[in-house]
Amino acid sequence: MQSIDKLSLNSYTLPELKELFSEWGEPAYRAKQVYEWLLKGKMPDEMTNISKPLRARLNELTYTGVDIERRLVSPKDGTVKYLFRLHDGNLIEGVLMKYKYGNTLCISTQVGCNMGCAFCASTLSGCVRNLQAGEMLSEVLAVEKDTQKDDGKHRAVTNIVLMGSGEPLDNYDHTVRFLKLVSAAEGINISQRNISVSTCGLADKIRTLPDDGVHVTLSVSLHAPNDEIRSSLMPVNRAYPMHEVLSAAKEYSEKTGRRVVFEYALIRGVNDSAENALELSHRLRNMNCHVNLIPLNTVKERNLCGVSREDAHRFCRRLEELNISATVRREMGSDIEGACGQLRRRVMNEGGVE
């Protein structure tokens, strides 16, 4: 894990703050006070019950929060698309999706992405930089502050998915640190059972997650039934071919007892045939898994087109007939550029980033 002397203040865990304050000759309860302020998204100068000298010392540390730059609300389903501005002017996205069981927030883990997946707008300009754990946490805190809580609820955000821009496991240390911060009992305390981490299949990192105390739902971006198709869509498959990814996913499921979700974006004429469904079922047989089918949002830069929802449901029925658990993802936020990277890219093209 990364040395804490390079972390932003809001990336510290409570034990790390207590250790720091002990070195400074400050009592442990001061660390608790500061931690509580950080969970409210406050900077040192806003910590009114902290002495001025201590605030000044805290100001010497880096603080990496986010501000809500734009907020788009879908009149169709209430989905909220957020454009966040980081302290260095970079932009990232988040999406709040409202369901009967609670509110799910999709957050970003990097500014852009290096993985080069053909169907994703986030990767078109590459990866600018990793997010610190505190920046990921700030995405949650900003939305929590912006969203009205349901009656009797302690939090507005009840579930989190790391499926925004970036490959979470390419930013491994900060992703694991964020997961521990957001699930800490003394913090926001969102159970890891209510958190999903999406990866394009960095098999070696998937294998180390359980050993680092991560027991979230693992969502693997598979998107193909064989290596030939997957390599044409996802360059990462050349480094981590399907047999390695599936083996690592199965190992993760066995270690954690959690069902693995395989994301499968249906692309017209590429991976949507009955033969593709049959081949996929052979790959996934005897695994504790579920396939989440996604009718692709058209990516005009790559000339890729999605299938109709009718065709998606036909593919789903074929998988079910082959004894593979599958569903078609509910379409949300399509009228507000809900897909990852679309809003950020448009704003950048309009000159929204200085």
Cβ neighbours of residue 17 under 8 Å, at least 6 residues apart?
A: 31, 34, 35
What's the Cα-to-Cα distance from 211 to each of 3, 78, 90, 171, 206, rounded to whole Å? 19, 38, 33, 17, 10
Q: Tokens at residue 302, please?
A: 């790559």
Active site residue 93: yes
Round to whole Å and give the CA distance between 255 and 217: 12
| Given the residues 117, 200, 289, 340, the one annotated as active site | 340
Structure token digits, residue 114 = 């290096």
- The number of CA neighbours under 13 Å toward the Cβ of 25 is 3
Angstrom CA distances, 218 to 2, 46, 106, 163, stand at 23, 37, 14, 11
Instruction: Give the bridge partners for 299, in sequence order.
Output: 304
Would you say 135 and 65 are in contact if contact means Cβ atoms under 8 Å apart? Answer: yes
Single-letter amino acid, residue 93: E
CA 132 to chain centroid, in Å, comes to 13
Q: What are phi and psi of 271, to 5 degrees?
A: -140, 25
Catalytic residue (choose from 69, 93, 135, 167): 93
Instruction: Please report which helix (H) or strand (E) contains residue 324, including its range.
Output: none
Residues annotated as catalytic (active site), given as ranges: 93, 340
